[in-house]
């Protein structure tokens, strides 16, 4: 339904409707975000990690991260900032999802031409992660082990950089059997954010088509959709079928600079664990070693 349709249905001026939509979306975000999307403390992070392990068998995991394009109409005098690699105009929704298919944190409004790694680095969540201001739990051993103690991490795809608290897959070329097992386990955890985007877009159908509004208004609409998604998800649950499709396109995988040596060491420790103490026999048989 367009603003023109609303004009005739409700007999409201065409110029007034965008103002009403923008103010309503801002009010929804301001009221619900402190309740439905607060920044977790250490106790909440531990609960998220425990649930992630139960659902995905990936220990010490605090969330799955990904970015999605939100289609918008070509903004006036915008140049090429919003023009993405799929040849349409968009803003980017970067989401951090928990095992309940809810958003822990979001960043909305980056230019469509930007890649996931830069968006995460420049987001409020990414800066807090790098500066260790997220109140993450202290390092602890993985289940059924006593050492070494490993940090709690977030997981994402190849578009993100590797560091101590963020795991990405091993490169697909010349991977060993142990590395392929790690990639499979990481993929099982990362799929939760993909499902979250699917549920979001199928619940709020405005995300299925291009938004005929200015980017500033589109940002308010997307933020309100995300916080309402958490509200509805916790109250009413979800239909599994809604998580199987997602009309929002992935952000282009721009080559990311490798992380610190500690990130490589942490990933290797997880990889060794998944092939030994923390192995899933049914999965390891499927992966050709």
Please tell me the predicted confidence (pLDDT) of residue 288.
57
193, 101 Cβ separation under 8 angstroms: no
Is 144 contained in some domain?
yes
Please tell me the predicted confidence (pLDDT) of residue 258.
44
Is 20 contained in some domain?
no
Q: What is the DSSP letter of 172?
A: S
Is 8 contained in some domain?
no
Is 274 contained in some domain?
yes
Is 18 contained in some domain?
no
Nearest to 61 by CA among 250, 245, 189, 252: 189
Measured distance CA(48)–CA(29) in Å, rounded: 23
Average pLDDT over residues 249-271: 72
Inform me whether the pLDDT recorded for 188 exceeds 70.
yes
The larger pLDDT score, comparing residue 193 to residue 18, is at 193
Is 58 contained in some domain?
yes
Inform me whether the pLDDT recorded for 153 exceeds 70.
yes
Average pLDDT over residues 8-35: 88
Number of folded domains in the chain?
Answer: 1
Inform me whether the pLDDT recorded for 255 exceeds 60.
no
Please tell me the predicted confidence (pLDDT) of residue 101.
93
Residue with tokens 């394009």: 69
Q: What is the mean pLDDT of the chain?
A: 87
Please tell me the predicted confidence (pLDDT) of residue 244.
55
Residue 134 structural domain? 25-286
pLDDT in tens, 97-147: 999 999 999 999 998 888 888 899 999 999 999 888 999 999 999 998 998
Is 14 contained in some domain?
no
Inform me whether the pLDDT recorded for 191 exceeds 60.
yes
**pLDDT confidence of 279, banded at 50, 70, 90?**
confident
Please tell me the predicted confidence (pLDDT) of residue 71.
93
Measured distance CA(187)–CA(8) in Å, rounded: 48
- Backbone φ/ψ region at 60: left (φ over 0), alpha (ψ -120 to 50), beta: left
222, 126 Cβ separation under 8 angstroms: no
Is 2 contained in some domain?
no
Inform me whether the pLDDT recorded for 253 exceeds 90.
no
């Amino acid at each position: 339904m367009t603003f023109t349709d609303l004009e005739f249905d409700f007999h409201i001026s065409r110029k007034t409707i965008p103002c009403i939509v923008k103010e309503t979306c801002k009010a929804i975000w301001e009221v619900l975000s402190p309740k439905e999307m607060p920044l977790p403390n250490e106790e909440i992070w531990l609960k998220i990690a425990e649930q992630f392990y139960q659902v995905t068998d990936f220990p010490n995991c605090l969330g799955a991260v990904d970015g999605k394009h939100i289609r918008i109409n070509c903004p006036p005098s915008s140049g090429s900032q919003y023009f993405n690699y799929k040849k349409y105009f968009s803003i980017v929704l970067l989401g951090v999802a928990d095992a309940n298919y809810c958003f822990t944190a979001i960043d909305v409004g980056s230019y469509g031409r930007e890649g996931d790694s830069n968006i995460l680095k420049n987001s409020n969540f990414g800066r807090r992660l790098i500066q260790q201001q997220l109140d993450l739990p202290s390092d602890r051993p993985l289940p059924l082990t006593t050492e070494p103690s490993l940090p709690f991490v977030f997981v994402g795809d190849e578009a993100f950089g590797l560091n101590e608290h963020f795991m990405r897959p091993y490169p697909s070329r010349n991977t060993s059997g142990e590395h392929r097992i790690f990639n499979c386990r990481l993929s099982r955890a990362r799929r939760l954010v993909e499902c979250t985007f699917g549920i979001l877009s199928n619940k709020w159908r405005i995300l299925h088509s291009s938004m005929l509004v200015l980017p500033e208004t589109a940002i308010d609409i997307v933020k309100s959709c995300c916080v309402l998604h958490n509200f509805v998800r916790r109250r009413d649950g979800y239909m599994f079928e809604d998580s199987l499709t997602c009309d929002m396109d992935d952000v282009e995988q721009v080559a990311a600079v490798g992380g610190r040596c500690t990130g490589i060491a942490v990933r290797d420790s997880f990889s060794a664990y998944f092939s030994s103490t923390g192995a899933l026999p049914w999965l390891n048989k499927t992966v050709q070693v």
